[in-house]
Structure 1
Amino acid sequence: MTEHTQPTFKQAASTGLRIYVACLAAYNNGYLHGRWIDANQDPEAIQAEISAMLQTSPIPGAEEWAIHDHEGFDGVELHEYSGIDRVVALAAFIAERGELGAKVLEHFGGDIDQAEAAFDEYAGRYRSLADFVQEITEETTDIPPTLIHYIDYAAMARDLELNGDVFTVELGFEDVHVFWSR
């Protein structure tokens, strides 16, 4: 189940990446007033939706807002006062790379630059890290047939990960994506 190419990413018309933006003036006065907004659009469109929501606030002249919830970011943290540009950048990254992109972003604490660099070091999709180690070992080393059954690929895989040479992202049973940590 090895794939040697870059992963293919899901791109759907509706990504499910949304933020719930609340009016703080209403919130502070005991009203729940806000709107779910598609995060996978340009910053100006999001700002226009926020402005429209604030215009319909039960508190006249409302100007302040905060993100009170989000969906589709698969573990990537958005904070209450995350800027619109950050929301758009995260949403675009996840929309382009799907669940794998979200998990890599989560691995790097939401750092988009590190996550993008990690995809340059993508090694492939395997059933396990041990399968990856077995493949690269057998491709790069002449192993005498009498020794091949004595090699502990699981231990080699564990050491590779413990030494920080690779990191993995598991998307499901026997669905392990390997990245070099260079």
Structure 2
Amino acid sequence: MTNEQQPHSNSGEHEASHERINVDTPRIYVASLSDYNNGRLYGVWLDADREPEDVHADIRAMLAASPEQDAEEFAIHDFGGFGEARIYEYDSIELVTRIARGITEHGLAFAAWASAQEGNEAALDQFDDAYLGHYESMEAYAEQLIDDLGYQRLLDESVPESLRPYARIDTEALARDMHLEGDLHFIPADDGGVWLFDGRI
């Protein structure tokens, strides 16, 4: 199945919505490693959907107020509001804030995209080009694609009325093959649907 054989449609925006989904503000808990290594839990929760320099400033202030002298190192010990995206202990603040700002702007679809990129910060900028929308299922996208391209109408016009109940396009197999061959990426959403991304990007 080549890309030319399976064109992707961006019509039907009522189903493939790019609207922002209300989510909790992405936050991280940043801890002082000097305190942690000496048996003390000391850190601060910070809103992560800001510019990295602002988060770094808050981290420096937290370290400066540490009971430990010369506290300089930190690690991310917890996080929330990042959806499917995983945040690791020593991820850069630049990466974390980039993901957080994307979630605030685009909703949890961006979190799913970030999860699929596995820390590749440069690929995060391709979200707008790759994201094709949210659908109830893989099959729902295939059904809309067939309808948008006019294939269902052609089938109805070509098949005698008495045989139409038996003539159908296997949308389940179509969606599965597009996914397996890399044309599309379907990522499960928390509501039971799927986020859809162009696998060629």
Cα pair distance change 1:47/1:80, threshold 3 Å: same
TM-score normalised by the chain length of structure 2: 0.77
Alignment of 1:27-176 (within 5 A): 27-140=36-149, 141=151, 142-143=154-155, 144-145=158-159, 146=163, 149-173=167-191, 175-176=193-194
Aligned mates of 1:123, 1:52 — CA distance in 2: 41
Cα pair distance change 1:115/1:85, threshold 3 Å: closer
Structure 2 unmatched runs, 5+:
1-11
1:150 alignment partner, SS class: coil
Q: Show the counterpart of 1:3.
A: 14
Return the letter of the residue paired with 2:184: V
Aligned mates of 1:114, 1:43 — CA distance in 2: 18
Deviations 1:56-114 (A, max 9, x none): 21112211111111111123222222222222111111111111110121122233433
Return the letter of the residue paired with 2:199: S
Cα pair distance change 1:5/1:161, threshold 3 Å: closer
Report the count of equivalent residues: 180
Aligned mates of 1:172, 1:33 — CA distance in 2: 33
**Structure 1 residue runs of 4 or more that deviate by more than 4 Å after TM superposition:** none
Q: Does the aligned pair in 2 maintain the 1:129–1:157 contact within 8 Å?
A: yes
Two-structure CA RMSD over aligned residues (Å): 2.5
Aligned mates of 1:25, 1:173 — CA distance in 2: 41
Structure 1 unmatched runs, 5+:
none
TM-score normalised by the chain length of structure 1: 0.84
Deviation at 1:135, TM superposition (A): 2.4
Return the letter of the residue paired with 1:181: G
Aligned mates of 1:174, 1:71 — CA distance in 2: 21
Aligned mates of 2:97, 2:192 — CA distance in 1: 32
2:196 alignment partner, SS class: strand
